[in-house]
A and B are shown apart, each in its own frame.
Chain A
Amino acid sequence: MADDHSRSNELTGAQLLVRTLEELGADTVFGYPGGAIMPVYDALVGSGLRHILSRHEQGSAFAAGGYARATGKVGVCIATSGPGATNLITGIADAYADSVPLVAITGQVGWPVLGTDAFQEVDTLGLTLPIVKHSWIVERAEDIPSMLRRAFEIASEGRPGPVLIDLPKDVASAMVQSPGRAPQAGRVARPSAHPHWAEEALAMLEEAERPMLYIGGGVIAAEAHEALRLLMSERGLPAVSTLNGLGCVDPDEPLFLGMLGMHGWKAANLAVQQSDLLVCCGARFDDRATGRLDGFAPEASVIHLDADPAEVGKLRSALRLVGEMGLGLKSLLGHRLMIDPWRELVASLKASSEFDYDAPGREVFAPRLLKRLTDLAGDDLIVTCDVGQHQMWVAQHCRFSRPRSHLTSGGLGAMGFGIPAGIGAKLARPGAEVVTVTGDGSIMMNIQELATLKRYNIPLKILLLDNGRLGLVRQWQALFYAENYSEIDLSDNPDFVTLARAFGIDAFALDRAADEESALRRLLDAEGPCLLHVRIDPAANVWPLVPQGADNGQMLEGEAA
């Protein structure tokens, strides 16, 4: 049915949509067909777009998110109306929570039956209102190019995020005259912070005795990590990072203390608590980072740099530097600060907070395995994580020296993110080594995407840490619910090696610490997709841990902390 629209002056709305996507620079889209979106799938045939068929719409949304996180480009996912759209929602919410540029295109029943509870009709626009930057229901096919172009701009500009276009089937099928080409969506220039506030920020920085950079994912979204590194080195500033800010600063930088927060590095939390000035760069005082908010960096004033004016001052009063992150950071450049006693304290905290990777016994020790993974894979490694203990171990023990190398569902914390995000990242960055680190709970949430790996022979490597439990829930039940274990047992998991092989994926198991290195090498050397199943101690915990409601100075520490 797909016409050769390049030779016709008349296009369907769906053909116009596909052509506009091509013109906007989209090369890969992730989706799943169905009734109301069939005109778009008809138009995809013979187009220049690479369509990746996931096996569940949630996989499409996470894959598009992984593609966007790995590149900074807009990710595109497509689904039909009703259940197709509702299955996208978790992925859209993930993109909203972590400020990921995403355009979701959903089919909708035709306008004549919209509002009649038609088959596979659901109020997609209404359901997604709280988790998108903007959204439309398309009323006229002629509007598709301008709407799509605006969607790409909104998804990318300022604080990035998802945009939804709900496309009724009659609009997608309507014939319209071919309009001119849609211009390429470029990065929209962001205003710089007001010079008056920048001067005041400069004075605050130069008067501080214990200043600290508090780095978030906004620095990566703004491609401002070079400006950040320059500020850090020129001023001699110590720094900590949120989960989503990892990769902005080389972890070997002596004054970088790593991740702060609930499972943050001890040195990071202790130093922040003693600081007298926090320079918050693209972070949002998330409760997982701050612990008890009124006990967070209690002596510190705050300078807050962010693209989103609504984020500044939301949870902590601050001097506001709203605008382009790179320009804001550069406005703080200057001479090396006279804070040697503070630097010495920070360096001593870092030296005394090193993790201990010596674990007795023959069992695999997950933190050591993850550290070794990044040692072996080198700096061009991208890790996509699932959610749970393994996610925190990755943040603590893997080495991320580049932005967009640590892709994790930080804000939403969505289990099932890892494999589809890895698919998106590997397709976006085929030259990079991409490894998904997952757990036995998380992998089952999107296990069907192994079929996607097989279909497209995507050489994603999967490191599955299996403790037969929902490990982080078990840890909390042990520590805070008097060991009243409730629904955390997954000991009847399938045989994951057999399961992966059933999908046509190469797979093998690691059970002994002595084989850690050879197993990792085999995983990384595999030519196609490969799964390494690792049995780990079901009683292992993530340390340190700041209990909910405590401040970050009140870390619990256990074994191997």
Chain B
Amino acid sequence: MSDRLLLELDWEIGTLQRLIGVIERRGFKVIAIELNASGGARQMAVDVQPRREPKDFAVLARQVDRLHGVVRLGSSPVEQGFSIRHRFPLVG
């Protein structure tokens, strides 16, 4: 079972490293990432799964939401058969 973080980010130095770092340090692994680089702020979708023990995705979402580079956060369970591409079409 995966969950999806839908993010709008300020694209500063360290933003991506900071985001992935929180996900991994809090016991989740990244399954897929998609970045929409158009416009000022960047949109991103990240699918995650707990690495070992069951983890509360809602707690992770709040930990991600408090990062100062995160402008907006949404989340949803990953639907069967849908790739991340359906959410943010890649530029070009």
Residues of A within 8 A of B (CB): 125-126, 129-130, 133-137, 139, 154, 158, 308-310, 313-314
B58 lies within 8 A of A309 (CB): no
Cβ–Cβ contact B25 & A130, under 8 A: yes
CB atoms of B66 and A310 under 8 A apart: yes
Q: Is the CB of B17 within 8 A of A129?
A: yes
Separation of A137 and B25 alpha carbons in the complex (Å): 23
B21 cross-chain contacts in A, Cβ below 8 A: 129-130
Judge whether B65 and A126 touch: CB under 8 Å: no
Residues of chain A with a CB closer than 8 A to B67's CB: 134
Q: How far is the CB of A287 from chain B (nearest CB, A)?
A: 15
A133 and B13 contact, CB distance less than 8 A: no
B66: chain A residues at CB < 8 Å are 158, 308-310
> Does B59 count as interface, using CB distance less than 8 angstroms?
yes
Q: Which residue of chain A is the closest to B13 with respect to CB atoms? A: A137
- Nearest B-chain residue to A313, judged by Cβ: B59
Contacts of B18 in A (CB 8 A): 129
Q: Does B12 contact A (CB under 8 A)?
A: yes
Which of B14, B18, B58, B69 counts the most A-chain CB atoms under 10 A from its CB? B14
Find out whether the CB atom of A154 lies under 8 angstroms from the CB atom of B68. yes
Q: Give Cα A222–Cα B12 distance, bound, in whole angstroms.
A: 30
Interchain CB contact under 8 A, A310 and B59: yes
Closest-by-CB residue of B relative to A139 is B13
A309 near B65: Cβ-Cβ < 8 Å: yes
Residues of A within 8 A of B83 (CB): none
* A126 and B17 contacting across the interface, CB-CB below 8 Å: yes
Besides the contacts A130-B21, A135-B14, A310-B63, what 13 more A-B pairs have beta carbons closer than 8 Å?
A: A125-B14, A129-B18, A134-B69, A136-B12, A136-B14, A137-B13, A139-B13, A154-B68, A309-B62, A309-B66, A310-B62, A310-B66, A313-B59
Residue pair B58, A133 in contact (C-beta under 8 Å): no
Cross-chain pairs A/B with CB under 8 angstroms, 14 sampled: A126-B17, A129-B18, A129-B21, A134-B69, A135-B14, A309-B62, A309-B65, A309-B66, A310-B62, A310-B63, A310-B65, A313-B58, A313-B59, A314-B56
Q: Do B59 and A136 have beta carbons less than 8 Å apart?
A: no
Chain A's closest residue to B60 (CB) is A310
Shortest distance from the beta carbon of A408 to any chain B beta carbon, whole Å: 25
B59 touches A133 (CB 8 A): no
With A130-B25, A134-B68, A313-B58 in contact, do A125 and B13 touch (Cβ < 8 Å)?
Answer: yes
Q: How far is the CB of B57 from chain A (nearest CB, A)?
A: 12
Expressed in whole angstroms, the Cα–Cα distance for A133 and B67 within the complex equals 7
Residues of B within 8 A of A158 (CB): 66
Q: How far is the CA of A158 from the CA of B69 in the complex (A)?
A: 16
Shortest Cβ distance from residue B33 to the other chain A in the assembled complex, whole angstroms: 18
Nearest CB on A from B88, distance (A): 25
How far, in angstroms, from A417 to B12 measured CA to CA in the complex?
33
Q: Which 7 residue pairs spanning A and B have beta carbons closest together?
A: A310-B62, A134-B68, A310-B63, A309-B62, A137-B13, A310-B66, A314-B59
A164 (CB) vs chain B CBs: closest residue: B14
Determine the chain B residues whose CB is within 8 A of the CB of A308 once the complex forms: 66
Alpha-carbon distance between A130 and B22 when the two chains are bound, in angstroms: 7
- Could you tell me the distance between the alpha carbons of A129 and B62 in the complex, rounded to whole angstroms? 17
Query: In chain B, what residue has the closest Cβ to A132?
Result: B18
Nearest CB of A to B3, in Å:
16
Interface residues of B in 9-31 (CB under 8 A from A): 12-14, 17-18, 21, 25
Q: CA–CA, A125 to B59, complex, Å?
A: 25
Residues of chain B within 8 A of A137, CB atoms compared: 13-14
A133 to B12, CA, bound (A): 14
**B14–A126 CB distance below 8 A:** yes
Smallest CB–CB gap between A451 and chain B, Å? Answer: 36
Least Cβ–Cβ distance between B84 and chain A, in angstroms:
24
Alpha-carbon separation in the docked complex, A136 to B68 (Å): 11
A130 contacts across to B, CB distance below 8 A: 21, 25
Chain B residues near A134 (CB, 8 Å)? 67-69
In the complex, which residues of chain B have a beta carbon less than 8 angstroms from the beta carbon of A313? Answer: 56, 58-59
Which residues of chain B (26-60) have a CB below 8 Å from chain A?
56, 58-59
Complex CA distance for A136 and B18, rounded to whole angstroms = 11
Cα(A318)–Cα(B13), bound, Å: 36
Q: Which residues of A contact B58 (CB under 8 A)?
A: 313
Of all chain B residues, the one with the shortest Cβ separation from A125 is B14
- Expressed in whole angstroms, the Cα–Cα distance for A137 and B65 within the complex equals 22
Closest partner residue, chain A, to B20 (CB atom)? A129
B58 to chain A, nearest CB (A): 7
Q: Hey, which chain A residues are within 8 Å of B12, CB to CB?
A: 136
In this complex, what residue of B is CB-closest to A322? B62
Q: Is the CB of B68 within 8 A of A133?
A: yes
**What CA separation (Å) do A83 and B28 show in the bound complex?**
32
Residues of B within 8 A of A154 (CB): 68
- Cα separation A480 to B58 with both chains bound (whole Å): 37
Q: Which of B17, B68, B69 has the most CB of A within 10 A?
A: B68
Q: Is the CB of A136 within 8 A of B13?
A: yes
Residues of A within 8 A of B56 (CB): 313-314
Identify which of B12, B58, B69 gathers the most chain A CB atoms within 10 Å of its CB: B12
Q: Which residues of B contact A125 (CB under 8 A)?
A: 13-14
Contacts of B17 in A (CB 8 A): 126, 129
Q: How far is the CA of A154 from the CA of B69 in the complex (A)?
A: 12
Q: Which residues of B contact A310 (CB under 8 A)?
A: 59, 62-63, 65-66
Bound state CA distance, A365 and B28, in angstroms? Answer: 48
* Chain A residue with the shortest CB-CB distance to B64: A310
Nearest-CB residue, chain A, relative to B21: A129
**B25 shortest CB reach to chain A, Å:** 6
Contacts of A309 in B (CB 8 A): 62, 65-66
Q: Give the CA-CA distance A67 to B55 in the complex, in Å.
A: 37
- Chain A residues lying within 8 Å of B13, measured Cβ to Cβ, are 125, 136-137, 139
CA distance A207 to B79 in the complex (A): 42
In the assembled complex, which residues on chain B have CB atoms less than 8 Å from the CB atom of A136? Answer: 12-14
